[in-house]
Structures are given as structure tokens and as C-alpha cells.
Amino acid sequence: METVNVNVPDRAAAWVERQLTLAVYTAIVGLVCVFLFLWYGFGAWTMGLGTFIGIPLLGLAVLLYLSAVVADLKRRRAF
């Protein structure tokens, strides 16, 4: 069985880190949009902000996170 030295930085590890960072920031923005929608009592302007912007951003964050996990598992040859 071949061992992988995970302490050596490479381009794939940097990409995974950037992708995870982007996923976290996207999730935070999406949660803020949904929170505004809930906080201001389901108003017309917050309906669009929370539903049409916040929820798709949360979905995008989940997809980014899952693709980063799969890329990292492939890099470590565990998947």
C-alpha cells in the first residue's frame, strides 16, 4: 500500500482549500439572505432575497463542499 504525504502542499490541495473557503462564504451569504427573509416577516422584498437568492446560494455551497470532498478523497486515493 502506497502512503501519501499530506504535509507536502500541492496544487490540488490548494484548489480544495480555495473551494472549501468559497463554499463557506457562499453558505454564509445564503444564510444571511434566508435570515433576512425570516426576520422581516415574509415581506415582498425579502421573499425574493431569501427564496430566489438565499436558497440557491445554499445549494451551491453544498455542491461546492461535496465536490471539494470528492476531489480531496481522489487526491488521497481514498475514493
Residue 42 has pLDDT above 90, yes or no: no
- pTM equals 0.80
Interval 37-56 mean pLDDT = 89
pLDDT at 11: 78
pLDDT band at 55 (very low <50, low <70, confident <90, very high): very high
> What angle separates helix 55-75 from helix 11-39, to the nearest 10 degrees?
160
CA 48 to each of CA 13, 23, 26, 38, 74: distance values in angstroms, whole numbers, following the listed order: 37, 22, 17, 12, 38
CA–CA distance, 64 with 60 (Å, rounded to integer): 6
Distance CA 34, CA 55 (A): 7
